[in-house]
Structure 1
């Protein structure tokens, strides 16, 4: 079996999982936010019972943003200077793409590492969120998780196991 085919299947499975997780996060965030607003407006005497909604929605939004990083790169939905790249020769474009992928990989791994240290520091302090009373570190772990997913995409592109340079940018979809 061709390693590229195996990687392509694994990447497609990961992307499907990410899409489902992101959709569920978004849907849950919308449902609890609308529910919280309805309770506050229709039966304000129960507003204290839904005080956790805003905090829960914020946590979900943070996870939503960071978990979408790798998928956005895979689908070409990040900011790109395509008009600049399209004017280059194919060889120069290939090498510049590798430099961009290497830089993105190194930067993503560094941010994931710093984010992991930050999350672990918060976990060591034993902080809890004010209304949900869940460990505050859960919020901080979104950063390394998202940047590791991004680093994976950069690494696969750098080593030629995923070709993100031949696809059109997300704006063209």
Structure 2
């Protein structure tokens, strides 16, 4: 009766099984590799990006938490104590403006804005990189133009001296985030263009690599 030789490696008889496993691991590692940070002369851009990210995260977190607390307190006051918070609705309106325009910069930083990529996906790596640079620069220009017009609008509101009817807050203070949000978003798209100019991969944003396999890599 023939017994199997213990010196024979079952995996070796499988042919390409180890190679296939190694290829799978390599592909997965490439898909999850972190984006390269700015360095050298571009190091200040990395610091600027981190500062903007912290400011956006703080504003979005604080704004959403305050809105949630205000809404819950208003419901409790209305149905438990029979008295609503008189400022809740107006406060939430102000916070929605802040969160919305802080959110556009946050979405740009994480590459989450809607993209029409039917043509883009069919291009070669070099053409996709070139197109992404053009898209980023054009979008940044549009954001800075909108920032200028929104700044003029805020100034015009300031000159009218309007105040909110309930909280008595000057209206222009609630609109200050309009130009700031557009400026921050424009900066994010400029950084995206620089990232594509200085790094080998295609970047959807300064921190998100377009892996071209529906596996966008984010720092």
Structure showing greater relative contact order (alpha-carbon pairs closer than 8 Å, 6 or more residues apart): 1
* Structure 2 counterparts to residues 131-142 of structure 1, below 5 A: 131-142=166-177
How many residues align? The count is: 169
CA distance in 1, matches of 2:118, 2:132: 14
**Alignment partner, residue 125 of structure 2:** 90
Q: Deviations over 1:71-115 (max 9, x none)?
A: 211111111134532321122112211211121011101110000
Question: Does the 8 A contact of 1:76 with 1:168 survive in 2?
Answer: no
**Alignment partner, residue 106 of structure 1:** 141
CA distance in 2, matches of 1:12, 1:4: 13
Greater share of helix: 1
**Alignment partner, residue 164 of structure 1:** 203
CA distance in 1, matches of 2:48, 2:175: 27
Ranges of 4+ aligned residues in structure 1 off by more than 6 Å = none
What are structure 2's unaligned runs of at least 5 residues?
1-38
Q: Which has the larger radius of gyration?
A: 2
1:14 positional shift: 2.0
**RMSD of aligned C-alpha atoms?**
2.2
TM-score (norm 2): 0.70
